Amino acid sequence: MATDLTNPQTPAGSHTTGKVRPHQTQNEALLFEKSSPGKRAYKLPPLDVPAVDLASLLGAARRDQAAELPELSEIEIVRHFTRLSTWNYAIDLGMYPLGSCTMKYNPRVNELVARIEGLAEAHPYRPESLAQGILEVIDLLQRCLLDITGMDAITLQPAAGAHGEFTGILLVRAWHESQGNSRRKVLIPDSAHGTNPATAAICGYAVENLRSNSDGGIDLEALARQVDSETAALMLTNPSTIGVFESQIHKIAEILHAKGALLYMDGANMNALVGKARPGDFGVDVMHLNLHKTFSTPHGGGGPGSGPVACKAFLEPFLPIPVLVKDENGAKHWNYGRPQSVGRVRAFYGNTGMFIRALAYILANGPDGLRQTTEDAVLNANYIRHKLEDLYDLPYKTASMHEVVFSDKRQAAKGVKTGDIAKRLIDYGFHPYTVSFPQIVHGALMIEPTESESLEELDLFIEAMRSIAREVEETPEVVKSAPHSTRVSRLDEVQAARKPILRWRPGQ
Ligand SMILES: *Cc1c(COP(=O)(O)O)cnc(C)c1O
């Protein structure tokens, strides 16, 4: 244990004790401040061909003054960006317990497969006859995801979870319209991710709030009262955002279907279900998956996302165009001739690089490996729950799936909030958990370890959380003023949101 309480750890992810922070030197001036006139990162040989007249080539588009960019040598630029990267946190540095985000490890074998030349260089304008390899990858991934979800048809086009929701609700709307009715509203539980109401609204629906019961789940009687001939769908996350499996889901589906409404499942939490339970078997009509959560493709700043949408057969005619089909010789083609389609939602094939990585992950694990992954993810979350529930308040006692949600109730009595604890966690070398979500839990601490973490890493995390709980009792100021080990500490989050400075301007 460090004697200096404000500085128990070295930089992000290192989990060691000490005060030395190797990258913090006087050499930290901003790139722009280091600029000195005439420095260049390159040197070109003299021209050995006739010079092109830029004025005639570019016309009015030509700048008459050089851009005011910093002038630096190559090594200064390399060091600047490398140094910046060490001030950040990443899944490759340590655990990232960000609940509802499934920040799992991105296996290196995925990267290897994605770099196979024929796949990496497949051009979207390549004729179908020369693109059969990548079309096979798409077809195989589609079939794997249909197997995993128990659904009938799928599109890989959407570029993220929220985009998948949008596509899925467009299918719902198109189907209702094809039935000659234009229903008006979508029901959304109060525990939902913010993208759900945003999706319903952007698809032209009124959002009606559904209150959770005391277990954090759907109250069947309240649902039966609320569903009527104006209800287009219920958007439901299962397991819910408090990590609880909605065990009545088949009954929820029955209530909706009896009134002609559909069940949309937000599948962002599929890491708790893969290989165990299939939404297609428990009454879901349409759902999205997050390849960048459940299927190990890079997440956040690490790469583009992918949010495939799977549906039951009756929604298939409405899927975005084009749809992959096979001819009698087994050759694959894109079919555009689909009069009921909602249209395109993404250029070309979607984020193909993510399909390759997700397929590599699925095939490397196989059915048994995927099931094991789910079991380990749930086990890890429950291990953390068990090891922390004596110190942190657990508002919902229902069994946890892949994540556990505590509240800051006990620490708040000492004036320390969930955001303070999260910031203190940074000093211990961990990325913060999800703060203040879901909103049905006041002062939520939402923790999702995923299956990637070893027992040793989980124990370090637990130790950090227990140590912070002790600090809250003994030296709460240390927690309230955290983080102490980062480049910047508490930023003005309001100003950052209202008046963001997003680009450098000369002279500022
Ligand atoms: C992450 C998440 C989404 C949105 O997915 P994005 O890929 O970030 O757009 C939607 N719902 C839930 C429950 C999520 O956790």
Residue nearest to atom 2 of ligand 1 (CA): 268
Tokens, residue 164: 């998948």
Instruction: Return the pLDDT at 435.
Output: 96
Mean pLDDT of 13-30: 46
Question: Which of 290, 295, 309 gets mutated to test ligand 1 (max ligand atoms within 8 A of its CB)?
Answer: 290
pLDDT tier at 4, thresholds 50, 70, 90: very low
* Closest atom of ligand 1 to CA, residue 100: 15
Predicted pLDDT of residue 28: 56
Q: Which of 102, 167, 266, 437 maximizes ligand 1 atoms within 8 Å of its Cβ, making it the mutation to test the pocket?
A: 266
Nearest Cα residue to atom 14 of ligand 1: 268
DSSP per position, 237-261: ESS-TTS---TTHHHHHHHHHHTT-
**Ligand 1 atom nearest to 307, measured from its CA:** 7
13-16 long-range contacts, CB within 8 A, separation 24+: 13/89, 13/90, 13/93, 13/94, 13/429, 13/430, 14/93, 14/94, 14/429, 15/94, 15/428, 15/429, 15/460
Kindly indicate the confidence band of residue 65, based on its pLDDT and cuts at 50, 70 and 90.
confident
Tokens representing residue 461 in the block: 């995390």
Q: Is 160 in the pocket of ligand 1 (CB under 6 A)?
A: yes
161 CB within 6 A, ligand 1: yes
Distance 161 CA to ligand 1 centre (A): 5
Is residue 319 within 8 A of residue 344, CB to CB? The reply is no
Q: Is 380 in the pocket of ligand 1 (CB under 6 A)?
A: no
In short, whether 290's Cβ falls inside 6 Å of ligand 1 is: yes
Say how many Å lie between the CA of residue 150 and the centre of ligand 1. Answer: 21
Alpha helices in 62-194 (DSSP H): 74-86, 108-114, 117-120, 132-149, 161-178
Instruction: Answer whether 448 contacts ligand 1 (Cβ < 6 A).
Output: no
pLDDT value, residue 302: 66
pLDDT in tens, 306-347: 999 999 999 999 999 999 999 999 999 999 999 999 999 999
More confident residue, 315 or 15: 315
Q: What is the Å distance from ligand 1's center to 119 Cα?
A: 28
Relative orientation angle of helices 455-474 and 352-388, to the nearest 10 degrees: 50
Atom of ligand 1 nearest to the CA of 164: 9
The residue whose two tokens read 């277990």 is: 215
Whether residue 400 has its Cβ less than 6 Å from ligand 1: no
Distance 84 CA to ligand 1 centre (A): 28
For 12-16, 403-407, 473-477, which range has the lowest pLDDT when averaged over its residues? 12-16
- Establish whether residue 305 lines the binding site of ligand 1, counting it when its CB lies within 6 angstroms of any ligand atom: yes
Minimal-distance CA residue to ligand 1 atom 6: 161
Mean pLDDT calculated for residue range 364-389: 98
pLDDT per residue as tens digits for the range 116-142: 999 998 898 999 999 999 999 999 999
* The pLDDT of residue 493 is above 90: no
Distance 470 CA to ligand 1 centre (A): 33
Between CA 206 and CA 189 the distance in angstroms is: 14
- Cβ–ligand 1 distance for 167 under 6 Å, the answer no
Q: Is 97 in the pocket of ligand 1 (CB under 6 A)?
A: no
The number of residues making up the chain comes to 508
Dist. CA 188 → ligand 1 center (Å): 15
List, for residues 378-396, the tens digit of each pLDDT value. Answer: 999 999 999 999 999 999 9
Q: What are the helix (H) ranges across 195-351?
A: 195-202, 220-226, 249-258
Regarding beta strands 262-266 and 231-237, do their DSSP bridges make them parallel or antiparallel, or are they unpaired? parallel
Helix (H) / strand (E) element for 443: namely none
Nearest CA to ligand 1 atom 7: 161
Domains identified in the chain and CATH numbers: 109-363 (3.40.640.10)
Predicted confidence (pLDDT) at residue 19 exceeds the cutoff of 80: no
* Residue 42 pLDDT level (bands cut at 50, 70, 90): confident
Q: Is there an atom of ligand 1 within 6 Å of 195 CB?
A: yes
The verdict on the CB of residue 365 being under 6 Å from ligand 1 is no
CA–CA separation, 154 vs 139, rounded Å?
10
Residue 485 Cβ contacting ligand 1 at under 6 Å: no
